[in-house]
Amino acid sequence: MTSELTAGRVEPHRSARWILGALLLVGVAGATLFVRHRKSTTSTGAPAGKAGEARPVPVVLDTATLRDVPVYLDGLGNAVPLVTVTVRPQVDGPLTAVSFREGQAVKKGDLLARIDPRPFTIALHQAQAALARDQAQAKNATLNLARYTALHDQGLATQEQLDDQRASADQFAGTTKSDQAQIENAQLQLTYTEVRSPVDGVTGVRQVDQGNVVHASDPNGIVVVTQLDPMTIVFTLPQDDLPLINKEIDGGLSIEAYSRDGDRLLGKGKLTLVDNQVNTATATVRLKGTVPNPDKALWPNEFVRARLVLSVRSAVLAIPAPAVQRGPQGSFVYIAMPDQTAALRTVVVDTVQEQWAIIGNGLKAGDRVVVEGQNQLRPGAKVSPRTSTPVRSDEGAPGSSDTVDDTGAVKKGKRGGASP
């Protein structure tokens, strides 16, 4: 019984020791966390959660300036030769010579090919012989007419004989004129044996080789000659743009042709035609312009981006288009204040022309706007400007951000600002 009482007294003491050990461990852990928190606060001078917010945000800045900005419309089109000629033989015969190389630049009148001229030379000689014969007969008939006239005056020839002789002389005179026409025709046919270029241009693929017999009815001809300078640009624009075009067309409009990707300017020229009807299937209108092409930058049937320059807006406040953001309250930009903090400004965007956004209200010339890094900014945040490549005023080829609608016209997006 004594041993049972002793065991009952020992059990409570063990429980107390376990509880005391657990409390001691909790106290040590709490003290450790408190010391670490004090060190972090002391080393940064601020709570650790706010240290990242105080770090400056790297941004790219540009300055709002007054500049001349062109207003234009972009469309897709093709480079079309001003003149394309399929050179066909005009007489039949064996092709005895080909005098051009494929892809050769030729001038109007240059010899391209030759057809055997001997049959046509013989025909010319025959026509000349017929003329000589009939001229002799006409001369004899004229002499006889003179004799019959004298005899008629003397009463030795009847009026009928005189009239018959006069008709004979007139008949031979007409025959000689016909012979002369035959000679001219034979000379023309002989000329056709030399196939010459009808225009200045560049030859294409040769359609027939020397030695073949060619015919005037051959559908493919001998070669195609294409005039490359100047070049015609045919493109389409939505019918909704017609009021803008008609408003400016009296002063003469210029066009610019860019490569299909919009990276290279291929040529500049003048608008020459606005089609007199709208395509009802696509709701577009065709336009045509003529562009000088001395360096052969444009090639027949090449796809191009055509830009119709409507006007130039002078001395307008413009900023790079990427600076404009759009939020629930409309378009806005971030500007860098003198103390290197960011401020939000609500702006009214008049229009966006490629890389330039024309600002109607909300900014003034000299304001430094944030072009890159806006997604990390909040009003009052510190900014750290970094160097950027300035946007040149002479840039402006259609960019990759352009979209093409189902009418085939290039849409200039971003009107009113870009989404954040």
Dump pLDDT digits (tens) for 85-112.
999 999 999 999 999 999 999 999 999 9
Give the pLDDT confidence score for residue 53 in this predicted structure.
Answer: 52
Radius of gyration of the chain (CA): 46
3-state helix, strand, coil in the chain (%, to 5): 35, 35, 30
How far apart are alpha carbons 408 and 94 in whole angstroms? Answer: 48
pLDDT of residue 242: 92
Tokens representing 411 are 């849409």
pLDDT for the residue 29: 65
Cβ atoms 117, 125 nearer than 8 A: no
User: Mapping DSSP to helix (H, G, I), strand (E, B) and coil, where does residue 247 land?
Assistant: helix
Distance CA 347, CA 166 (A): 101
Low-confidence residues of the chain, pLDDT below 50? 1-10, 40-52, 391-420
The DSSP code sequence of 179-225 is: HHHHHHHHHHHHHHTEEE-SSSEEE----S-TTSEE-TT-SS-SEEE
Burial 128-165 (b: 16+ CB within 10 A, else e): bebbeebbebbeebbeebeebeeebeeeebeeeebeeb
136 phi/psi in degrees, rounded to 5 = -65, -40
- State the pLDDT at residue 16: 62
Sign (positive/negative) of CA torsion 310, 314, 316, 320? positive
pLDDT of residue 303: 95
Distance CA 353, CA 69 (A): 8
The predicted model scores a pTM of 0.60
Contacts of 60 (CB under 8 A, 6+ apart): 370, 371, 372, 373, 385, 386, 387, 388
The predicted structure's pLDDT at residue 69: 86
- CATH of the domain spanning 63-80+228-411: 2.40.30.170
The per-residue pLDDT for 21 is 67
Rounded to an integer, what distance in angstroms lies between the CA atom of residue 18 and that of residue 295?
97
Domain boundaries, the chain: 63-80+228-411, 87-214
Whether residue 230 has a cis bond before it, omega within 30° of 0: yes
pLDDT in tens, 367-392: 999 999 888 888 989 998 875 555 44
- Predicted confidence at residue 48, as pLDDT, reads 42
